[in-house]
Amino acid sequence: MLIHYITGIVILVAGGIHLWTVFLTAPVEENLRFDNTPFAVLNVYRNWILAGSLEILLLAVAFHGFNGLRVILLELHQGSAWTKAVNLVVSLVAVAVAVYGTRTILIAFQIT
């Protein structure tokens, strides 16, 4: 599918922003060691632009990654039962992950 290429480019941009924020909230060693003030990472995502880009990253990675898995599984074996099963399971897992991730972003955005 062609959306695979487009989501790849989207991930390049949104992922760049994500890595930039993660490495810029605090000196990297302390930030990644998780023993910094508990809400430092959450603080960063409390504005619309960064939270929005995180959401876009979530949806793009969910699509790109699970579509890639779908392609690999469909190339492995052909047959109408297998194709339908793979399409169904992969879409359900992708949607579940995207919903759970969106919930995380919404909650992080609301914590005062």
Partner 1 sequence: MDVGNSLASSLAVALRTWLIPRRYGVMRWSYTLQRISGVAITLYFVAHIVETGNVVGGAHIWMVPAYQYARDVWTETVEFLANPLFDAGLTVIGFLVFFHTVNGLRLFLAHFGIILGKPHRPEYPYIPASMTRLQIALFWLSIALAVAALLYSVNIFFKVILP
Partner 2 sequence: MQEVKLKVFRYDPSRDGRHRYETYVVPVGRDTTVLSALLYVKERLDQSLSIRFSCRMATCGSCGMMINGVPRLACYTLVSQLKSKTIVVQPLNNFPIIKDLVADFTDFFGKHRDMKPYLMRLDTYTQEKSNTFYPQTDEELVRYIQFAYCIKCGLCYAACPVVATDRKFPGPQALSQLYRYYSDSRDEGGAERLRLVDDNHGVLRCHFAGSCSQVCPKGVDPALAIQLLRRELVFSRVAKV
| Identity of the residue, 56 or 71, whose beta carbon is nearer to partner 2 in the bound complex | 71
Least distance between partner 1 and beta carbon 100 (Å): 5
Measured between alpha carbons, how far is residue 55 from residues 47, 62, 90, 108 in Å?
12, 11, 20, 12
Q: Which residues contact 109 (CB under 8 A, 6 or more apart)?
A: 45, 46, 51
Task: Decide: is 84 part of the binding site for partner 2 (CB under 8 A).
Answer: no
- For the window 11-50, what string marks contact with partner 2 as x by the rule CB under 8 A? ----------------------------------------
| Identity of the residue, 1 or 88, whose beta carbon is nearer to partner 2 in the bound complex | 1
